Amino acid sequence: MFLRLLIRPLSLMAALAVAVPALADEVNLYTTREPGLVKPLLEAFSDRTGIKVNTIFMKDGLAERVSSEGERSPADLLMAVDFGNLTDLVEQGVTQAANSETLNEVVPEALRDANGHWYALSMRARLVYADKDLDLENFHYEDLAKPEWRDRVCLRSGQHPYNTALIAHMIARNGEEATETWLRGVKDNLARRAGGGDRQVARDILGDLCDIGIGNSYYVGLMRSGDSGAEQQQWGEAIQVVLPRFKDGGTHVNVSGAALARYAPNRDNAVKLLEFLVSEEAQALYARANYEYPVSQKAELHPLVAAFGELNVDTLPVAEISSHRHAASLLVDRVGFDN
Amino acid sequence: MTTELVASRPLAPGFFSTAVGRCGRCLVGVGPGWLLVCALVALLVLLPVLSLWAHALEGSGDLWPHLRTYVLPQAFANTVILLAGVGLLVIGIGTGSAWLVTAYEFPGRRFLSWALLLPLAVPTYIVAYVYADLLHPVGPLQTLLRDLLGIASPRDLRLWDIRSMGGCILLLGLVLYPYVYLPVRAMFSMQAAGVLDAARTLGAGAGRRFCRVALPLARPAIAVGTSLALMETLNDIGASEFLGVRTLTVSIYATWLNRSSLPGAAQIALVMLVLVVSLIMLERWARRRQRYADSPRQQRPLTRKSLTGWRWSLVTLAWLPVLLGFLAPALYLLVAAAKRVAFAGIEPQIVQQAFNTVMISAVATAVTVAIAFVLVYTLRQARSATGVRALVRIASLGYAIPGTVLAIGLLGPLGWADGALDNTALWLTGAGTGMVLGGTGFALVYAYTVRFLAIGNGSIESGFDKVPRSLDDAAQSLGAKAVCRARRVHLPLARPAMAAATLLIFVDCMKELPATLLLRPLNFETLATHLYGEAARGTYESGALAALVIVLAGLVPIILLSRYGHNAAR
């Protein structure tokens, strides 16, 4: 009886359980970047090379999945956002060196792993979104803790990787003690509980819930361009964008990047895809379609992004910022930033 | 009195397990095949838990004191408040509306009685996104309000923010109450009819009948429904994170991803699992002396009373959850989707995604319901022997583990099994199998089954409870073997419960996001993963169409479910 109850669904399952065949002209991409963002790039790559790109988009657990698949993993290329996530992949031992002259040439040293395990493909700056009527010349990240901003600041969760990276950068610059004082100040200035996304900061400024906040650069492009609809365009238009700096440094940027999977079955194709992603054509796409800062000096910025002003990336090496990430996360807890 | 409410003292624990252990052919026995399947299923459900255990044992170093001081107290308090709030809300809405549509007659009653199920089709993360939009100071409602009042700036009219604990409780309650409404309505309409009519004949007023007769009778149904709703609450990550409520589940994620400690996360997850299991056991223990059974031949629907006077306002009140939990978000999605389609057209992939969603959900549902039937049937054949009952309870554990955590727990065993298969095949035939379990449809079906087996077990068990034991004994004394009894007696009698389980599980599979996201094959998108991909970019408007399709696709089984309920009630 129970056999018959089980057999039918089992046979259906067997039909679904067809493993991906390792054809010669394919490359398998595991990505935590949203499919809508990378699709135009992958299509362009397939057009140029005839290599088919199979993708799976996931959010969390990329390293865990690849490492559980072990040497049988079909993964060729692992794409992720945030340098912390990229260094995590290397630490979990699921990557290998790409050994590509092209990559080393195009991607600046500060934006890649010292051993060639991961390469940044694009950059995003962490900016100030503010009410249009404010005068914010020479704004520093440190200023956000000043008492004049009491009940006027909107931010996403302090535990979000974008904010943890910023706080880690602050620790690297100013030390943990000063950063704690700063974070407590910012917490006191919050107009609402930390949460939501960066775009909600713009919307809350439009809704007069707050006057100032922090968000990533490409969101401004996505909103202002009207790509995400008329409503968001209104949010984007409601704010002014300022490129803040650290008191003794430049602007905090984070990266999106990719790493070659340790057991990549289509290694050559994966390297080709990586090299394509830093090519002039792809870098221009990153800038044009996603409103990101390209890593290649040759590609031009989107006019909406260029209008923010000149970006002076802080000079601290990514590896050093990344090393304070854990401390930053614990600091967020200690301060009770999200409570 | 047509329904018997039998309260009997249970036999000493272990009595039947020893009875079963002793004999293969005796009256209360079950064949070893059935037991083996139960044990195997329990093991398969335990595997991810064990794998989490292994992670937890790696130790979180100096993180635990930090978590204990700064993270867990707040997260624990938030979780308790959230659960208590959602619990009260779902019991209130679910029981109240079930009573209204079964005890009273009023125009539109039949329509309301199935419309109350509709919010089941709206995933929690979608309802959170929608209301955050609707109620924002620059959203349609507040803008309208300001226009009406002649107020220019939102600063001059500060209203309550939905992004809060209260908002989270309200929104989760609004979409989760059907878990209570569904079993309680069935209980009121079928089981309680005789006793309630008797109470009326004896002169008990409506309030008294509800409080003294209906509520105590419905307690098992309320308990089952509420625990399902609370488990969903506990598992929710999308809505609570978006609304800024830091629950234990949110902390598990943050510990894993931001505090970079999978062992720490596994430890919190296991502590949470222990808490949930103790709560469920406590509730069962509290009701240990009660048995509910009635004879199937004498079932008949409750005589409904016409609504009079002030009670009419209750009907308006009962429409409120339908309006807020379904109509408002569905209409909003419809508008957003229409705008989106006008702006960007329809993406052709959505058809493929809808197909994938339905296919994988159908397969997983079939597997889950079949396994649940085998488990519960074995339990019945073993006369609820402690050992078998423990196996069935273990098999229900998966519902108490958050989706991603469960998926992480599955990765290890899947990888290990793939390795073993591959090596064996290599050794036997000289050709490896590669990956046939991990990263395939199998992984998804496995995850869904582990996750939702509790719904199947619970529903079918409560269906079996209505079948008198005398039928088993009669069939057995007529010489019917276990398989034959299952096919000829239990399967037909448990059909309504199986149908309800099938539909609930199907809807849940379609909405499932976190495990799907992590375990699915390459190039395989479901409606939920597509929507999430858009929402993660912050443009959930572009996912409005997918959200609408999830809601609409969820409607089909819900309508079937309600029609089935109707036929049964008639």
Residue B65: inside a domain: no
Q: Does B502 touch chain A (CB under 8 A)?
A: no
Q: Does B529 touch chain A (CB under 8 A)?
A: yes
The verdict on B313 and B453 lying in the same domain is no
pLDDT tens-place string over residues A216-246: 999 999 899 987 778 889 999 999 999 999 9
Q: Give the three-state DSSP class for A157.
A: coil
**Set of chain B residues whose Cβ sits within 8 Å of the Cβ of A64:** 262, 408, 411, 518
**Set of chain A residues whose Cβ sits within 8 Å of the Cβ of B360:** 16
pLDDT tens-place string over residues B167-218: 999 999 999 999 999 888 888 877 667 777 788 888 877 788 888 888 888 8
Q: Is B569 left (phi over 0), alpha (psi -120 to 50) or beta?
A: alpha
The whole-angstrom distance between residue B351's C-alpha and the CA centroid of its chain comes to 27
Asked if the Cβ–Cβ distance from A20 to B260 is below 8 Å, we say: no
Across the range A256-284, mean pLDDT stands at 95
Tell me how far apart the alpha carbons of residues B219 and B369 are, in angstroms, rounded to a whole number. 24
Report the percentage of chain B scoring pLDDT > 70.
Answer: 89
Asked if the Cβ–Cβ distance from B137 to A209 is below 8 Å, we say: yes
Q: Does B347 touch chain A (CB under 8 A)?
A: no
| Enclosing domain of residue B479 | 355-524
pLDDT of res. B565: 57
Asked if the Cβ–Cβ distance from B70 to A19 is below 8 Å, we say: no
Residue keyed to tokens 């100040």: A185
Residue B39: inside a domain: no
The verdict on B333 and B359 lying in the same domain is no
Residue B546: inside a domain: no
Residues 274-333 of B with CB under 8 A from A: none
Asked if the Cβ–Cβ distance from A69 to B418 is below 8 Å, we say: yes
**Set of chain A residues whose Cβ sits within 8 Å of the Cβ of B256:** 60
Q: How confident is the model at residue A137 (pLDDT cuts 50, 70, 90)?
A: confident
Tell me how far apart the alpha carbons of residues B461 and B372 are, in angstroms, rounded to a whole number. 9
For A333, nearest residue in chain B (alpha carbons): B70
Asked if the Cβ–Cβ distance from B419 to A70 is below 8 Å, we say: yes
Residue B7: inside a domain: no
pLDDT tens-place values along chain B, 570 residues long: 333 333 333 333 443 333 333 333 433 457 788 889 999 999 999 999 999 999 899 887 778 889 989 999 999 999 999 999 999 999 999 999 998 998 888 888 888 988 998 898 888 888 988 898 888 888 888 888 888 888 877 777 777 788 889 999 999 999 999 999 988 888 887 766 777 778 888 887 778 888 888 888 888 889 888 988 998 898 888 888 888 888 998 888 888 888 888 899 999 999 888 888 887 787 777 767 666 555 544 556 677 778 777 777 888 888 999 999 999 999 998 988 888 788 777 778 888 998 999 999 999 999 999 999 999 989 888 877 788 888 988 998 888 888 888 998 999 899 999 988 988 888 888 887 888 888 889 999 999 999 999 889 888 887 787 777 888 888 888 877 777 778 778 888 778 788 888 888 998 898 888 889 889 998 898 988 888 877 766 565 667 787 888 888 888 877 777 766 555 444
Asked if the Cβ–Cβ distance from A2 to B37 is below 8 Å, we say: yes
Across the range A132-139, mean pLDDT stands at 91
Angstroms from B197 CA to nearest CA on chain A: 41
Where do the CATH 3.40.190.10 domains begin and end in chain A? 24-123+253-300, 125-251+311-335
Superfamily of domain A24-123+253-300: Periplasmic binding protein-like II (3.40.190.10)
The verdict on B321 and B362 lying in the same domain is no
By C-alpha distance, which of B153, B512, B159, B201 is closest to B365? B512
Mutate to test the interface with A, among B375, B522, B525, B529 (most CBs of A within 10 A): B522
Q: What is the mean pLDDT of chain B?
A: 82
pLDDT of res. A243: 95
Residues whose CB is less than 8 angstroms from the CB of residue B128 and which lie 6 or more positions away in sequence, other chains included: B168, B171, B238, B239, B242, B243
Across the range A303-331, mean pLDDT stands at 91
pLDDT of res. A309: 92
Residues whose CB is less than 8 angstroms from the CB of residue A26 and which lie 6 or more positions away in sequence, other chains included: A51, A52, A53, A54, A266, A269
pLDDT of res. B9: 33
Contact present, B187 and B140 (Cβ < 8 Å)? no
Across the range A54-78, mean pLDDT stands at 91
Does residue A332 surpass a pLDDT of 90? yes
Report how far apart, in Å, the C-alpha atoms of B496 and of each of A27, B192, B407, B563 are: 48, 17, 31, 11
Residue B64: inside a domain: no
Asked if the Cβ–Cβ distance from B155 to A208 is below 8 Å, we say: yes
Contact present, B225 and B97 (Cβ < 8 Å)? no
The domain over range A125-251+311-335 is classified in CATH as 3.40.50.300: no
For A10, nearest residue in chain B (alpha carbons): B367
Across the range A254-273, mean pLDDT stands at 95
Asked if the Cβ–Cβ distance from A208 to B246 is below 8 Å, we say: no
Does residue A92 surpass a pLDDT of 50? yes
Angstroms from A84 CA to nearest CA on chain B: 9
Q: What are phi and psi of B295, to 5 degrees?
A: -95, 130
C-alpha triplet A46, A52, A53: angle, nearest 5°: 95
Across the range A153-174, mean pLDDT stands at 94
Sign of CA dihedral B115, B402, B256, B441: negative
Asked if the Cβ–Cβ distance from A207 to B138 is below 8 Å, we say: yes
Tell me how far apart the alpha carbons of residues B441 and B444 are, in angstroms, rounded to a whole number. 5
pLDDT of res. A139: 95
ipTM of the modeled complex: 0.80
For A324, nearest residue in chain B (alpha carbons): B259
Instruction: Determine the angle formed by the axes of helices B349-381 and B495-511, rounding to 10 degrees.
Output: 140
Residue B561: inside a domain: no
**Set of chain A residues whose Cβ sits within 8 Å of the Cβ of B74:** 336, 339
**Set of chain B residues whose Cβ sits within 8 Å of the Cβ of A18:** 440-441
Asked if the Cβ–Cβ distance from B411 to A72 is below 8 Å, we say: no
Q: Name the domain count of chain B.
A: 2
The verdict on B272 and B409 lying in the same domain is no
**Set of chain B residues whose Cβ sits within 8 Å of the Cβ of A333:** 66, 70-71, 259
Q: Comparing B550 with A4, which gets the higher pLDDT? A: B550
Q: How confident is the model at residue A148 (pLDDT cuts 50, 70, 90)?
A: very high
| Three-class SS of B330-396 | HHHHHHHHHHHHHHHCCCCHHHHHHHHHHHHHHHHHHHHHHHHHHHHHHHHHCCCCHHHHHHHHHHC
Q: What is the mean pLDDT of chain A?
A: 89
Residues whose CB is less than 8 angstroms from the CB of residue A22 and which lie 6 or more positions away in sequence, other chains included: A74, A265, A266, B434
**Set of chain A residues whose Cβ sits within 8 Å of the Cβ of B257:** 60, 161
Residues 134-193 of B with CB under 8 A from A: 136-138, 153-155, 161, 163-164
Q: Does B485 touch chain A (CB under 8 A)?
A: no
Name residue B518's amino acid. L
Virtual torsion, Cα A135, A141, A146, A152, nearest 10 deg: 70
The verdict on B332 and B364 lying in the same domain is no
The verdict on B115 and B248 lying in the same domain is yes
The verdict on B369 and B481 lying in the same domain is yes
The verdict on B245 and B377 lying in the same domain is no
Asked if the Cβ–Cβ distance from B404 to A60 is below 8 Å, we say: yes
Q: Comparing A19 with A148, which gets the higher pLDDT? A: A148
Tell me how far apart the alpha carbons of residues B377 and B23 are, in angstroms, rounded to a whole number. 18
Q: Does B436 touch chain A (CB under 8 A)?
A: yes
Tell me how far apart the alpha carbons of residues A79 and A142 are, in angstroms, rounded to a whole number. 32
Q: Does A192 touch chain B (CB under 8 A)?
A: yes
Residue B426: inside a domain: yes
CATH code: domain of residue B204: 1.10.3720.10
Residue B158: inside a domain: yes
Tell me how far apart the alpha carbons of residues A295 and A62 are, in angstroms, rounded to a whole number. 24
Residues 357-396 of B with CB under 8 A from A: 359-360, 363, 366-367, 370-371, 373-374
